[in-house]
């Protein structure tokens, strides 16, 4: 199918984009890499009156480090972050799993976090890294913790007039682990996955949105235990759903195993189970 | 422009038949609005080799019988162009993973992987 009719806008600077969103935000969809939005448009699952292409807004692609925090512009491409040595190990471990390299050549971190596909890697990585999302509008900027930003599929804590402009992650040199299971190998959507950074643990693909496993984290904070204990605890905490791809039982059991694996990996150099 | 070599497949970014090079990087043309290509250098299959002057990989595809109906082929060549352009030597397993973003219904993939492997 072809997209429904819409007006296309291409602001040159952030100010212009925010002014447009203030005026038309409730009828507009921002266009980042297009790897998720354009399929939605093609399938007519969304029908925005306006599409706001952010590619010209250079400010949104900047990456900087200050005060022990890594500030990643929302329009930073997956492919650029994949090879950026400033990125935390967990980010560089997760990104190669995002689609295929052709998708990563256009797709952006901001786009992934705003699209909030239940099987996406970035939401779980953001949770495990205690990432903070910066929302901007003509009214100013505000920061949202990842858990407050990420509400559900295609649902974020952004107001209609806001754009996600930056993702901030603390710079910490800690053990990490990342794993996902797909049907066909790299490139396919994850059936389930897990991310771990120090004692922070999140799963994805299990339900409507990535889930932070606070009971598992408390267990690790209090000294942890065997891999089997971590796995068993994760299995009770994970909220899993059935869908046409696989069952909730599969999700729960496999995700729990992945949790055991990524926690173990975070305790060993290299980080990959 | 009449360049019909790039094919329309799934229109969702999954099959890879539409893959072209934008500023040397393989992208899904079905996931780019035409206006977004402004200022970029686009390379389609028509820009890869020419009759009588085939690009190495095109010649390898012929030798290995790496296409049958040919519908997926321009997309594979665009993806392979970026892979080969990296200058790195990948194993067949790694190439299989790298090429998994392009779907073929005819060949069973082995001759495609062999052709790309040979051209590294």
Domain boundaries of chain A, sorted by first residue? 7-53, 62-170, 176-266
Q: DSSP labels for A182-213?
A: ESSSTTSPEEEEEEEETTEEEEESSSSS-EE-
In this structure, which topology does domain A7-53 adopt according to CATH? 3.30.43
The CATH number of B19-118 is 1.10.150.120
Residues of B whose CB is below 8 A from A83: none
Pairing status of strand A28-31 against strand A155-156: unpaired
User: Per-residue confidence at A271, pLDDT binned at 50, 70, 90?
Assistant: low
| Secondary element (H or E) of residue A83 | none
Are B82 and A101 an interchain contact pair (Cβ–Cβ within 8 Å)? yes
Predicted confidence (pLDDT) per residue in A154-206, tens digit:
999 999 999 999 999 998 889 999 999 999 888 889 999 999 999 999 999 99
- Choose, out of A42, A100, A112, A182, the residue to mutate when testing the contact with B (most B CBs < 10 Å): A100
Q: List the CATH code of the domain at A62-170.
A: 3.30.465.10
The CA distance from A212 to A218, in Å, is 11
List Cα–Cα distances, A204 to A8, A120, A152, A189, in angstroms. 33, 7, 12, 11
Instruction: Give the gap in angstroms from C-alpha B36 to the nearest C-alpha of chain A.
Output: 8
The ipTM assigned to this model is: 0.96
Q: What's the pTM value of the predicted model, to 2 decimals?
A: 0.95
Interface membership of A45 toward B (CB under 8 Å)? no
Alpha carbons A170 and B33: distance in angstroms, whole number: 35
Alpha carbons within 13 A on the beta-carbon side of B19: 31
CB A207 within 8 A of CB A240: yes
Taking residues A200-217, what's their average pLDDT? 98
Say which CATH topology domain A176-266 has.
Enolase-like; domain 1 (3.30.390)
**Is B31–A34 a contact, with Cβ atoms under 8 angstroms apart?**
yes
Selecting from A79, A106, A187 the residue whose C-beta is nearest the C-beta of B31 gives: A106
| pLDDT at residue B51, rounded to an integer | 87
Q: What is the pLDDT of residue A259?
A: 98
3 state DSSP class of B24: coil
* Cβ neighbours for B42, distance < 8 A, ≥ 6 positions apart: B20, B21, B22
For A29-73, what is each residue's pLDDT tens digit? 999 999 999 999 999 999 999 999 999 999 999 999 999 999 999
Nearest to B11 among A42, A79, A105 (CB): A42
Across chain A, mean pLDDT equals 96
| End-to-end CA gap in chain B | 32
Chain A CB contacts of B31 under 8 Å are 34-35, 38-39, 106
pLDDT in tens, B13-53: 999 999 999 999 999 999 999 999 999 999 999 999 988 99
User: Which of A10, A55, A105 lies nearest to residue B27, judging by beta carbons?
Assistant: A105
- Tokens representing A147? 């858990």
Query: What does the pLDDT read at residue A74?
Result: 98
Window A:56-95, CB contacts with B under 8 Å: 79
C-alpha R_g of chain B: 14
Lay out the sheet containing B19-22: strands in order across: B25-28, B19-22, B42-43
Confidence at residue B111, expressed as pLDDT on a 0 to 100 scale: 98
What tokens appear for B83 in the block?
């892979």
* Closest residue in B to A32 (Cα–Cα): B32
CB of A12 within 8 Å of any CB in chain B? no
pLDDT at residue A272 greater than cutoff 70: no
Tokens 């005819």 correspond to: B106
Using CB atoms, pick whichever of B28, B82, B100 lies closest to residue A186: B100
Question: In Å, what is the CA distance from A246 to each residue of A143, A181, A236, A241, B17?
Answer: 36, 12, 19, 9, 28
* A182, burial (CB in 10 Å: exposed 0-12, middle 13-18, buried 19+): middle
Q: Which of A162, A166, A214 is nearest to A52 (CA)?
A: A162
Restricting to A residues 209-268, those with a Cβ less than 8 Å away from any Cβ of B are none
Domain boundaries, chain B: 19-118
Q: How many CA atoms lie within 13 A of A42 on its CB side?
A: 18
How close does chain A come to B45, measured CA to CA in Å?
16
Going by C-alpha positions, the residue among A8, A102, A104 that lies closest to residue A50 is: A8
User: Cβ distance A134 to A164 under 8 Å?
Assistant: yes
Q: What pLDDT does residue A33 have?
A: 98
Q: How many beta-carbon pairs under 8 angstroms link A with B?
A: 68
Q: Which residues from A are below 8 Å from B30, CB to CB?
A: 38, 42
Please indicate if any CB of chain B lies within 8 Å of the CB of A40. no
- Indicate yes or no: CB of B32 within 8 angstroms of CB of A106: yes
């Amino acid at each position: 199918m072809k997209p429904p009719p819409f007006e296309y806008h291409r602001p040159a600077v952030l100010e212009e984009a925010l002014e447009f969103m203030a005026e038309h935000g409730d009828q507009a969809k921002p266009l980042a890499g297009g790897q998720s939005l354009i399929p939605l448009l093609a399938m007519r699952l969304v029908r925005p009156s306006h599409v706001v292409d952010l590619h010209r807004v250079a400010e949104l692609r900047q990456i900087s480090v200050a005060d022990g925090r890594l500030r990643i512009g929302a329009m930073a491409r997956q492919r650029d972050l994949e090879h950026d040595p400033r990125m935390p190990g967990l980010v560089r471990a997760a990104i190669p799993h995002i689609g295929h390299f052709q998708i990563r050549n256009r797709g952006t971190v901001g786009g992934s976090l705003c699209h909030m596909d239940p099987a996406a890697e970035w939401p779980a990585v953001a949770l495990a890294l205690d990432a903070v999302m910066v929302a901007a509008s003509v009214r100013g900027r505000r920061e949202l913790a990842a858990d407050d930003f990420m509400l559900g599929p295609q649902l974020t804590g952004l107001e209609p007039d806001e754009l996600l402009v930056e993702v901030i992650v603390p710079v910490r040199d800690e053990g990490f682990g990342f794993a996902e299971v797909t049907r066909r190998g790299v490139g396919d959507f994850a059936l389930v996955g897990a991310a771990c950074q120090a004692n922070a643990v999140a799963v994805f693909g299990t339900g409507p949105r990535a889930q932070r496993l606070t009971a598992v984290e408390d267990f690790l904070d209090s000294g942890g235990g065997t891999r089997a204990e971590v796995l068993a605890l994760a299995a009770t905490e994970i909220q899993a759903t059935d869908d046409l791809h696989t069952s909730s039982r599969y999700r729960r059991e496999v995700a729990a195993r992945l949790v055991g694996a990524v926690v173990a990996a975070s305790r060993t150099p290299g980080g990959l189970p | 422009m009449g360049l019909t070599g790039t094919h329309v497949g799934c229109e969702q970014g999954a099959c890879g038949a539409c893959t072209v090079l934008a500023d040397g990087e393989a992208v899904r043309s079905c996931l780019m609005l035409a206006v977004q290509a402004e200022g970029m250098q686009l390379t389609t299959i028509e820009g890869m080799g020419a009759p009588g002057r085939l690009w190495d990989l095109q010649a390898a595809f012929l030798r290995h019988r790496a296409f049958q109906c040919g519908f997926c082929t321009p997309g594979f060549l665009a993806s392979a162009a970026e892979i080969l352009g990296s200058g790195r030597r990948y194993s067949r397993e790694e190439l299989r993973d790298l090429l998994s973003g392009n779907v073929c219904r005819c060949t069973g993939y082995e001759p495609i992987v062999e052709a790309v492997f040979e051209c590294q």
